[in-house]
Amino acid sequence: MQITAQQILEDSTPKDELAQLLGNKAAIIQNIAAFEVGKSGDLVFAPNQSSLTTALRNKVALIVLPKKLVKFIPPNTAETAFILSNNIGVSHARLKQKYGDHDYTQAGWKTIHDSAIIHESVVIPKGTSIGPNVVIEKDVVLGKDCRIMANVVIEHGAKIGDKVTIHPGTIIGWDCEIGEECLILSNSVIGGEGFGYAQDQYFNHHRIPQTGKVIIGNKVTIGALNTIDRGTYSATIIGNGCIFDNMCHVAHNVKLGENCIILSGFLCAGSSILGNRVVASGGTMIKDHVEICDNTYLVHRAGVINNITKPGIYAGSPVLPMQDYVKSNAIYRELGELRKMVLELSKQLDIK
């Protein structure tokens, strides 16, 4: 990386949220670093006054900071460049993607590894690479500029969009669809058999074949060790822009809206429907056939057993609106003392 602060601003788009360049516009940036350890030649991000002070002390080349911190830029800093940001978090994400992301094309293998097993019906488009021991079955459609890493299995009829990265050991089930610019981390299973069984009078289990599929939208991240089951007849759907942490499970026929955030330990039973921008913190569990509206936050190991129809923050199991949850916890902490008081009153009143 060898680029000036002026070039970074000129190469930016409105989506990068960069507003103005101050200071040494010719400062040369060689690396992106954390503000705590940044040094000469580094670009760092300073979200607050304390981090700005640290970055200045380290004499870094370029500091990206929120516009509101402009008043804290010292007047005599001829060596350092400053870029003001409308949204420091977004600027951090987009500039790191552009200039500091890992390059998966540097694995050292040729474009299609000799050990890969690819059906003759599959076309490998421009820019797509296939790693060691990958298996791609018949009639799979692959997009351009994909990275299919070691030991991935893509079953027959699956469709993969452009610029998708699939990490080692992942399985994409038959007929499943992955949108564009998705990231799927290691050892996830997309389109495994949904859990559908019927029992007879002797409690023997009879499998109900799951013949739907999984449809994943664009710009979705699926963390490591995730499982997303195919639908029984129709599709399990993950909307555009959803991001999943590691170790989450989505059962058959579930539908997620757009831009949801799903954290580790999430378990969602079959046929539930989540709206747009649902945030589920770690350990959230959702019962089957439940509907959750847009803009809902589920926290404190939330357990959802009924529909949620009003946006807001819900906590605990079964979930309560946050205000009620806080009151309930406060009362719970006093139960021991309340019990003692009741026992004392009972003795005084000679109640048995």
Positions marked active-site: 252
Q: Roughly how many angstroms between the first and final C-alpha of the chain, as a whole number?
A: 81
Q: Is the separation of the CB atoms in 32 and 96 below 8 Å?
A: yes
Interatomic CA distance for residues 41 and 94, integer angstroms: 19
Interatomic CA distance for residues 46 and 187, integer angstroms: 35
Compute the C-alpha angle 83/26/100, nearest 5°.
60
Dihedral over alpha carbons 72, 75, 79, 85 (to 10 degrees): 40
Let me know how many helices (H) and strands (E) the chain has, helices first: 5, 38
Nearest CA among 248, 253, 285 for reference residue 271: 253
Q: Is the separation of the CB atoms in 290 and 234 below 8 Å?
A: no
